[in-house]
Amino acid sequence: MLQGLHRGFIGVLTGMLILVSAGTKAQITTGELGGAELNAIQTAVPFLSIAPDSRGGGMGDVGVASTPDVNSQHWNIGKYAFLDSKGGFAISYTPWLRNLIPDINLAYLTGFFRIDEQQVISTSLRYFSLGNITFTNIDGSFAGQYNPNEFAVDAGYSRLFTDNFSGGIAFRFIRSDLTSGQATSDGQDTKAGISFAADLGFYYQNEVNVGESDGEWAAGISLTNMGTPISYTVDADKTPIPTNMRIGGRFSYNIDEYNSVAFHADLNKLLVPTPPVKGFNEDSTDVVVVRGKEPPGSTVLGMVQSFYDAPGGENGSYSTFTEEIREIAFSLGVEYWYRDQFAVRTGYFHEHASKGNRKYFTVGVGMKLNVFALDFAYLVPTNGQSSPLANTLRFTLGFNFADLDL
């Protein structure tokens, strides 16, 4: 077994994955914090939170109430029931954090099939590659290379409840292999982290008249990655996966026969306990929780506690409620269509500096020709091209089989 792989190696890789999620954490300044303490929520497998497709990625990472499409599996499983086509699939590719490491990428394959007028089944595969890692033994000699990777595969079911309301559920298997089973410096074998999770989503849409034209409004809520925590060694503490609640709305307006525009807004909150602030007790003998709450052992209790467990500021400089509000990230997006064939998109994503500091604009374009669709998206960080997220480009190729007979 390789003794050069220290226990901290797993922490380094996990920290790198947290950076994937937090994006610009290393660049946070005192001014950006605005008096807040840096206390980002840490999770395993944060690749599950990355917007995998170019349409949502081009609108500031919105999608819980956007018009249903083949990539609804990530945003809101309930939206599939409103698709007009009989089936379809899409593949997306995202080179990730290219300002830091040249060989990290995310691939996403998803598809759906309509059973009847009310029911749709769907599936997706998400694969995240972290590039090549060089292993050394205890004396520093080369001992091989490995490509850490993670993947998630899921299957979902969506159903129309009424003409305007639908819901869905998905079950997910997650595997995170960061070390290829190499041993720690104290002889412990590492292992791939395994988790089982579920998504639950609901979606509502309805037509509305606006002057002499017509439009549509929609709302959605999605609870994703509700599942078991992950550990990479037998006796290590388990880390929660990024259980998330997304709530949002959409307003679409048909300008005329050829032009339409849609406005979107999403709110995101991780349903994961906030790390407490710890310190020594009065006798300086034991480490205790000074502010905040110790995470519970139950995933469900952790989801509930995530709404009221933020430690707040030292000496009451800001309240628990204030910090909980800071844990809500928001996205705004706009999508314009010409003749329902050519699209232009833009959006903005905002996360408080103390919770990760992801702030960026996005732009995107798309086209649909018969059963074929092609989309591109580009991310522009607001804190300059030195951001790890700079130059992020997404590609999505999709097919919808509207004329397929059941």
Contact 128, 150 (CB under 8 A): yes
Give per-residue pLDDT as tens, 276-312: 988 877 776 778 888 999 999 889 999 999 999 999 9
Q: Using CA atoms, how far apart are residues 181 and 195, in angstroms rounded to an integer?
A: 17
Minimal CA–CA distance to 53: which of 13, 83, 93, 8? 93
Q: What secondary structure does DSSP assign to 89-102, as a single string? A: EEEEEEE--TTT-T
CA 279 to chain centre: 32
Give per-residue pLDDT as tens, 307-356: 999 999 888 889 999 999 999 999 999 999 999 999 999 999 999 999 98
Q: Which domains does the chain have, with CATH numbers?
A: 7-274+327-400 (2.40.160.40)
Which residue did the predictor score with more confidence, 138 or 200?
200
Lowest mean pLDDT across 253-267, 281-295, 359-373: 281-295
Give per-residue pLDDT as tens, 265-280: 999 999 999 999 888 7
Looking at 87-192, which runs of residues are DSSP E strands? 87-95, 105-114, 119-129, 133-136, 142-146, 149-160, 165-177
Q: How many CA atoms are closer than 13 Å to the CA of 295, on its beta-carbon side?
A: 19
Residue 118's SS3 state is: coil
Q: Using CA atoms, how far apart are residues 110 and 87, in angstroms rounded to an integer?
A: 11
pLDDT at 10 over 70: no
